[in-house]
């Protein structure tokens, strides 16, 4: 069954510390993975997608098919990074793509 697991409900770090938000997936096909972010009192928005191999706001994520992981990393956390982060797996059904979300991880960056 397709599944996304984010093992940490809460990750608390100090400003300037490295951050790694974990994401593991289960998918039988070729996965498409994404990170979405929800800042306080704002709507959910796409942060980055694995296929574009981009760095957004200093965050990167590498797809590791061997470990079925897509961890989100940032070398130096900033207070404005505090938010809820969701890892999501794209599931194709016919011509439609649906997203399967993980449980979410709250990142708290302390001053």
Binding residues for other proteins, rule: CB under 8 A, are 4, 6, 9, 32, 34, 42-46, 49, 86, 88, 90, 95-104
Query: In whole angstroms, how close is the CB of 5 to other proteins at the nearest point?
Result: 10
Cβ atoms within 10 A of the Cβ of 52, count? 8
Beta strands in the chain (DSSP E): 3-5, 10-14, 19-21, 24-26, 32-38, 45-49, 60-61, 72-74, 83-93, 96-101, 105-110
Taking the least distance from each CB to other proteins, the nearer of 6 and 74 is: 6
Query: How far apart, in whole angstroms, are the C-alpha atoms of residue 106 and residue 84?
Result: 4
Query: In whole angstroms, how close is the CB of 103 to other proteins at the nearest point?
Result: 4
Taking the least distance from each CB to other proteins, the nearer of 19 and 37 is: 37
Taking the least distance from each CB to other proteins, the nearer of 27 and 86 is: 86
| Chain centre to alpha carbon of residue 1 | 20
Cβ proximity of 47 and 56 under 8 Å: yes
Taking the least distance from each CB to other proteins, the nearer of 105 and 109 is: 105
Query: In whole angstroms, how close is the CB of 15 to other proteins at the nearest point?
Result: 26
Query: In whole angstroms, how close is the CB of 109 to other proteins at the nearest point?
Result: 21
């Amino acid at each position: 069954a397709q599944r996304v697991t984010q093992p940490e409900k809460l990750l608390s770090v100090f400003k300037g510390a490295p951050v790694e938000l974990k994401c593991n997936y289960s998918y039988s096909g070729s996965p498409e993975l994404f990170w979405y972010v929800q800042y306080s009192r704002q709507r959910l928005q796409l942060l980055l997608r694995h296929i574009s191999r981009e760095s957004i706001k200093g965050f990167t994520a590498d797809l590791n098919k061997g470990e079925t992981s897509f961890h989100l990393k940032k070398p130096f956390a900033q207070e404005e990074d505090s938010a809820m982060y969701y890892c999501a797996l794209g599931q194709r059904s016919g011509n439609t793509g649906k997203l399967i979300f993980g449980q979410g991880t709250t990142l708290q960056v302390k001053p």
